[in-house]
Amino acid sequence: MNKLAKKLMIFSMVGLMQVGLFATAAEAAAPRHDDPPGFEQRDEHRHQEMEKEKQRRIHEENERHEKEMKRRPFESKQHWHERQRQENERHERAIHEIMEMGHRR
């Protein structure tokens, strides 16, 4: 009986090992479609941070633009209008770059 019990125990263990190996291989081969927990929250948080950064940069650019558009002491009208034209072009490019910042990422 002792011999029979040993053989039964060994065959049972071998069978359990095969089942375990099969289960591990099946788990590894199965495709995963679930996102990690909190993935959408992290993505939303990152989007909000990018929006805040964009709004901050727009605000800074608008303040800088407003300051540059003012006429300086002893500046001729012709020179002031030319500087305003150049500043408007530069300002439009800067705002466009800021707005594109969020679309590239």
Q: What is the DSSP string of 25-52?
A: HHHHHS---PPPTTHHHHHHHHHHHHHH
Answer yes or no: is 26 within a domain.
no
- Assess contact for 94 and 54: CB atoms under 8 A: no
Task: Look up residue 92 and give its two tokens.
Answer: 């439009």
Give per-residue pLDDT as tens, 23-74. Answer: 777 777 777 766 566 667 788 888 899 999 999 999 999 999 999 999 999 9
pLDDT band at 105, cuts 50/70/90?
low
Q: Which residues contact 15 (CB under 8 A, 6 or more apart)?
A: none
Q: Report if residue 25 sits inside a domain.
A: no
Asked if residue 71 belongs to a domain, the reply is yes
Domain tally, the chain: 1
Output the pLDDT for position 104.
60
**What domain range includes position 81?**
57-105
